[in-house]
Amino acid sequence: MTTFTNDLDIRPLRTGEEDLFLDFPHPPTPGVGLESRRSWADTLADGYYRPEWSWVARRGGRTVARCAFWGMPDEDHPFSLDWFELGKEPDRLAVGAALLTAALRELRTAEGARPEYHIFLPPGWRELDGVREATEDRLAAAAAAGYQPFIERFNYTWTTADGVPERSTRLMFREVDDAEATAICRAAAQGSLDGYTGRDVARHGLDEAARIMVEDLTDMPSPREWWRAAYTPDGAQVGLIVPARNPARAVVGYIAVVPAQRGRGYVDDLLAETTAMLVAEGAEEIGADTDLGNRPMAAAFARAGYRNTAIRMVLQ
């Protein structure tokens, strides 16, 4: 559907119209958004962007703003908005808001929700001139289109040059079935500092939040057999680890310590085992993330040699 707002022509691309998206004349702001980190054309070719999920705002035959929604190649609906450029027009905030408003009338996730907006930023972005202003513009335009802040997350990267943490000598790890994994997720959700977990518990209760977590982890493109439950030598359950892969690289999919075992430093043991397992599977780089407010997990990543390489702000 094409939307005309004053002198703007706002619409998704049709197949063969890739040049309209690429006609945007402004270079990306370094460090701001995925537009500064990857190629839209390559991501389109890989199936994670699609013409109908890529929108432009045109004025006088020029592309003055653009956005792209990301989703899995085999899915019918996008998952998130992760490419959004407002351009340099004097009314760029209004242009950006109109672009997002038009796109969101037509695009929903598989659950019928507004796709989240993920803004990837450099660490310390609030103190970086140019980065701060570009980010604040995006936030203002997104807010005008109905988005609200949800969480801010640290993104981490570990490489073999950072050194493999020593594996635990005080815990045992064994394969875990879905029933036990779900039970651990349910227990760990109580008092969790993770924003998504807290949201799901508030919306659905502990049982459904745990089911959602296991389902989401199962959907990751890595072997289910990598999952491990952790126990003390006397058989007390400690937690769960999910070494995993996403479409780009190896990742720490999930780490949880059950409430009865918190405060004993077991998160370091779980993260070391996760890292070692992924290295044994050939990983030379591992990604991870945690919420800004989850300071125990952030501290564990730092102790294990994971470096904070980006911030991901999530709006809903």
Q: Please compute, for residue 90, the number of CA atoms within 13 A of its CA located in the half-sphere on the CB side.
A: 0
Per residue in 216-266, pLDDT (tens digit) is 999 999 999 999 999 999 999 999 999 999 988 999 999 999 999 999 999
Are the beta carbons of 71 and 53 closer than 8 angstroms? yes
Q: How far is Cα 304 from Cα 310, in angstroms, rounded to an integer?
A: 17
Q: Is the pLDDT of residue 185 over 90?
A: yes
| Token representation of residue 261 | 């075992």
Parallel, antiparallel or unpaired: strands 116-121 and 80-85 = parallel
Please report which confidence band the pLDDT of residue 2 belongs to, taking 50, 70 and 90 as the band edges: low
Q: By C-alpha distance, which of 238, 259, 251 is closest to 174?
A: 238
pLDDT in the model for residue 263: 95
The CATH code that applies to domain 160-310 is: 3.40.630.30
| Token representation of residue 262 | 């918190």
Q: Please name every residue paired with 244 in a beta bridge, in sequence order, or none if there are none.
A: 251
What stretch(es) of the chain map to CATH 3.40.630.30?
A: 160-310
**Which residue spans within the chain are E strands per DSSP?**
3-5, 8-12, 54-59, 62-70, 80-85, 116-121, 149-159, 172-175, 228-231, 237-245, 250-257, 285-291, 307-315
pLDDT in the model for residue 260: 96
Q: Is the pLDDT of residue 122 over 60?
A: yes
The pTM of the full predicted model, rounded to 2 decimals, is 0.85
Question: What b/e string do you get for 38-48 counting C-beta neighbours within 10 Å, with b at 16 or more?
Answer: eebeebbeeeb
| Token representation of residue 237 | 């359950």
Q: Phi and psi dihedrals of 21, rounded to 5?
A: -70, -40
**Considering the chain, what is the average pLDDT of its residues?**
96
Q: How far is Cα 181 from Cα 240, in angstroms, rounded to an integer?
A: 7
| pLDDT, mean of residues 48-60 | 97
Per residue in 10-28, pLDDT (tens digit) is 999 999 999 999 999 999 9
Tokens 């720490």 identify what position?
A: 252
113 DSSP assignment: P
Q: How far is Cα 296 from Cα 270, in angstroms, rounded to an integer?
A: 13
Q: Could you tell me where the DSSP H helices lie in 6-77?
A: 18-22, 40-45
Which one of 1.10.3470, 3.40.50, 3.40.630, 3.10.540 gives the CATH number of domain 3-147?
Answer: 3.40.630
